[in-house]
Amino acid sequence: MFNQYILALDQGTTSSRAVVFNKKGEMVSLAQQGFAQHYPQPSWVEHNAMEIWATQLGSAQMAIAKANISPSQIAAIGITNQRETVVLWDRQTGNPLHNAIVWQCRRTASFCDELRAQGHQDSIQAKTGLLVDAYFSASKIRWLLDNVPSAREQAKAGKLAVGTIDSWIIWQLSKGKLHVTDPSNASRTMLFNIHKMVWDDELLDLFDIPRSILPQVVPSSAIVGQTAVEVLGASIPIAAIAGDQQAALFGQGCYSRGQAKNTYGTGCFMLLNTGEEAIKSTQKLLTTIAWQLGDQKPQYALEGSVFIAGAAIQWLRDELQIIGSAAESETLAASVPDTGGVYLVPAFVGLGAPYWDQYARGTIIGITRGTTRAHIVRAALESIAYQARDLVEALCVDANCSLTELRVDGGATTNNLLLQLQADILGVTVIRAKMESTVMGAAYLAGLACHYWADLSELISLIGSEATHFNPNLASEIREANYKKWQRAVKRAANWDTEG
């Protein structure tokens, strides 16, 4: 086959990556370039959108060169991206009017507080599956229109375009011919009705955002257009778009209802596939669109996140200085058979799902005269696994299902002890794929669209090869007794930073 490769672009929060894959799902080459973070005020976070494009283009060119292939040998491009971050740009020049406002930015928090106070939470959640928060894109777009000189007037005149990072990258790849996004990214804007699959007129009115500046919503896996020849040296089909966490769910092969993945980074993102049903959460989780394959019905997911996961190990290394490296946490924790009754609740910035307690604070409980640094390090690793179980418990209540396995990715999954602890604490098998799944998801979605790979069963066979399984070996009565102690520890940490 002349077109022998898939190019996956992974535009993240701190760097842009490009990976060339072959038919076996193997990585042929990888290139990565970082870019600057901008903090114009406390709690404000911005990126230079042109720098994002330059690093993404540069990494793509480098990956193609390192693979020693011609651009014409690329069957399709798949794109995955940091979610919720938005760019506003001029349709004529393609130049951004302002820095991109990043998903982490809290500048619109007070406006979101007003929306909740006005009673909009229930209607917004019913339509979008989201909790009202500055995390999502809608309030960021409104801020840009209100604060960039003449932006609102230009928008009403049809001169501007807005989009999440996937839209921005595709606009640049196509030299302005394509202004598109996919349902997984649209569902993170707080403007998209995830049941009707349309931009919602009432939400557009509420946020005062003209429909004309928004991208067309196209399937996550479909050929939506071509790159301009001058960009990469060939006209290449653009065949996949997915937000990073949804791409990871797809890259892990979680194609059936009830399958879940957890990404272990600074924090944790866990997604559970709920099939064609968009389940409204009663556990303060998010309902989101996972993906849409061609003209098929969209697939949905429930999503939960914890704030501190790998960051707990960084804290042991940098602040407490009881380990010299993250890798040392595994060997030191393995030097003791258990935590000696110690529980560490890493609520350094409050607790995320399913607690949502901004006043909780970090707590270490169960210390005795015999407690060593090894026990505390092991307790920190266990805290990551216990928080993941908290998410699983909430997800399974919402979805009325039981988990049979958990697929995992992220930097912390190099720690074998952590994954064994996770299997023991959950009581299910934990499966680590052979490589990072976000960029794999983008490649798989693109390969399906252009028939590079035949179907989902072929992808499952690729994912299953070389995966590592961690099976639980802890007695269920011990598992449940320990989890109850963890829950008691969380209660001790809850609402710590309040009076009374």
Q: What are 91-94's contacts with CB under 8 Å, separation 24+?
A: 91/158, 91/159, 91/160, 91/161, 91/176, 92/159, 94/171, 94/172, 94/175, 94/176
Question: Is the CATH code 3.30.70.360 the one for domain 253-432+467-500?
Answer: no
Residue 489 in this model has a pLDDT that exceeds 80: yes
Q: Is residue 303 within 8 Å of 285, Cβ to Cβ?
A: yes
Q: What is the pTM of this model?
A: 0.88
For residue 9, pLDDT over 60 is answered with yes
Taking only the tens place, the pLDDT of each residue in 90-136 is 999 999 999 999 888 888 888 988 999 999 999 999 999 998 888 89
Domains 5-245 and 253-432+467-500 share a fold: yes
36-75 residue pLDDT tens = 888 888 888 899 999 999 999 999 999 999 999 999 999 9
Torsion of CA 188, 192, 195, 198, to 10 degrees: -140
Helix residue ranges, H only, 258-297: none
Q: How far is it, in rounded angstroms, from Cα 441 to Cα 435? A: 11
Please, which residues have CB within 8 angstroms of residue 340's CB and are 6 or more apart in sequence? 366, 368, 370, 371, 372, 375
CATH topology of domain 5-245: Nucleotidyltransferase; domain 5 (3.30.420)
Instruction: Tell me the per-residue pLDDT of 320-353, one tens digit each, with 9 for 90 and over.
Output: 999 999 899 999 999 999 999 999 999 887 888 8
Question: pLDDT > 90: what percent of the chain?
Answer: 74
- Concatenated DSSP letters of 429-450: EEEE-SS-HHHHHHHHHHHHHT
* pLDDT tens-digit map of 385-424: 999 999 999 999 999 888 889 999 888 888 999 999 999 9
Domain boundaries, the chain: 5-245, 253-432+467-500
Is residue 245 within 8 Å of 83, Cβ to Cβ? yes
